[in-house]
Amino acid sequence: MNVYSFPQGGIHFTDPTAPPPAESVVAFLPVLSVLPLVQHSGSKALPLVSGGSSVREGMLIGLAQGPGSAHIHATVPGQVLRMVSWKMAEGLTNEGLVIRLKGSFEQLGKPEERFSWEGLEPKELQQCIVEYGIVEMEGPGRPLGDLFASLATVSQPITLVVRCVFDDPWLVADYVLCRERAAAVAEGSSILGRACGVSHIVYAVSAQEKDVGTRLLAEAQAYDIPASLVLVSSRYPQRNPRELELALRAYERRRGKQDGPVEPALGSLLIQGPATLAAVRDALVLHRPILDRYVAVGGSAVKKPQVMKVRIGTRIGDLFAECGGFTGEPQRIILGSPLSGRRVFEKNLDEPVIKTSYALGALLAKQTGGTVVRSCIGCGSCRAVCPVGLDPEALFKGLVFFKQKQEQHSARFGECHGCGCCDLVCPSRFSLSTAIVNAALGEH
Ligand code: SF4
Ligand code: SF4
């Protein structure tokens, strides 16, 4: 089978401090949970409970406030203690409800009751997905209600692309999820496919994890939307929408020249990850919101890195403790991959896991490489790895040393999608991508 990729740049990223792809470990239920009112890209939800209220597992406790917002549900039964706020590394403040675990669970430990979705119309499926507060469980966490609104104007056929691309070892939680919940991912793909009127589902899977793709495709045969498996490279940033689309268009061109059954044109691509699709399935089949998610906990400062199944709202300090604690003083705590995640402000171990937290890292100074910045040695490594064909060195020097404005220097800033490949290879440790992305946003 052919393996598809993007034409230039990229890196093969390995990190021995990421957790191994072993079976997931169920994390302890948190005695105190913190449920943020913003777990997505838009405005915060309106709290429906306050200090002293009792809540049930899965109960609606925060009401979405228009586009960009999603409902928030209690992930454990208990009592609301108070509202808290905390600062995040970007300078933003988040607010959340602190819940003390108390009472019995409605779903945990009970046999699963299965509801049928097959007879529902697309609009009814969409409504149910919105009711359960489902968001994209990666990136900024776009609410799926916003996605449905944006698709209303698409006139081309739509292909749902199930992104199982493991170009970063810190995506191991998605990999373990695909292995442990392949049937749920395939069913969720079919549900979302029907809700969005897609004509075709493509499982885009890293070639080295072909077994995962074969299993997903086999599970997809139970549903009526045609599905295919496309193997793609594991070269970072293969999972970026731009690079993934380049690989899939190459597949489409090659497929058009081959004999065999004619597959529909790919049309417009709707890319979703396996965690989101499993959550869609749980909303429709179990009538439950996102209560937990798979999280990769690791880094050089963590004694026993592992993939954990974690209740949303669990404090990150509790997870590090369950992984055996620290080997030494972490210099940096990161939510997400060290390549693209965000720093936790002042290493605040009370920050909670949210719907988009796929990885959590604690890094020793030797892993962060310190902060010493040297002069550019003109090695050209940044140019060699840029998948877009930019010259990060020239863009960076123009910005930082010559204080050129974006329009004076180059119109190409906007093409940078912030993959961070240039930062990773720069021996002088320049924050090339941050400067370029900020310039594109007009923040320089
Ligand atoms: S961060 Fe931007 S400039 Fe750097 S390699 Fe990626 S796309 Fe190119
Ligand atoms: S990788 Fe760093 S040191 Fe090398 S040319 Fe680019 S900016 Fe200069």
Residue 35 structure tokens:
């449920």
**Using a 6 Å cutoff on CB, does residue 374 contact ligand 2?**
no
- Give all strands (DSSP E) within 39-157, no chain letters: 46-47, 54-55, 60-63, 72-73, 78-87, 93-101
Per-residue tens of pLDDT for the chain, all 444 residues: 799 999 999 999 999 999 999 999 999 999 999 999 887 667 889 999 999 999 999 999 999 998 889 999 999 999 999 999 887 656 678 889 999 999 877 766 777 889 999 999 999 999 999 999 999 999 889 999 999 999 988 889 999 999 999 999 999 999 999 999 999 999 999 999 999 999 999 999 999 999 999 999 999 999 999 999 999 999 999 999 999 999 999 999 988 777 666 677 899 999 999 999 999 999 999 999 999 999 999 999 999 999 999 999 999 999 999 999 999 999 999 999 988 888 888 888 999 999 999 999 999 988 886 656 678 899 999 999 999 999 999 988 887 766 655 555 556 778 898 899 999 999 988 888 888 888 777 654
CA of 418 to the centre of ligand 2 (A): 16
CA of 368 to the centre of ligand 2 (A): 18
Ligand 1 atom showing the smallest separation from residue 417 Cα: 7
Ligand 1 neighbours by CB, cut-off 6 Å:
385-386, 388, 390, 392, 416-422, 432-433, 436
**Using a 6 Å cutoff on CB, does residue 207 contact ligand 2?**
no
Question: Are 15 and 169 a contacting pair, CB within 8 Å?
Answer: yes
Question: Are 416 and 390 a contacting pair, CB within 8 Å?
Answer: yes
Residue with tokens 């290879």: 425
Ligand 1 atom showing the smallest separation from residue 415 Cα: 7
CA of 34 to the centre of ligand 1 (A): 35
Ligand closest to Cα of 421 equals 1
Strands in 359-363's sheet, in edge-to-edge order, are 25-26, 306-311, 292-298, 359-363, 332-335, 342-343
CA of 421 to the centre of ligand 1 (A): 6
The Cα 403–Cα 439 span in angstroms is: 11
Q: What is the pLDDT of residue 422?
A: 95
Angle between helices 182-196 and 172-180 (to 10 degrees): 100
Residue 100 structure tokens:
């003390």
Ligand closest to Cα of 8 equals 1
Supply the residue whose CA is at minimum distance from atom 8 of ligand 1.
386
Number of neighbours of residue 383 by Cβ within 10 angstroms: 16
| pTM listed for this prediction | 0.93
Q: Which domains does the chain have, with CATH numbers?
A: 3-15+111-286 (3.40.50.11540), 381-440 (no CATH)
DSSP string, 192-222: HHHHHT-SEEEEEEEGGGHHHHHHHHHHHTT
**Using a 6 Å cutoff on CB, does residue 421 contact ligand 2?**
no
Supply the residue whose CA is at minimum distance from atom 7 of ligand 1.
416
Q: What is the pLDDT of residue 32?
A: 94
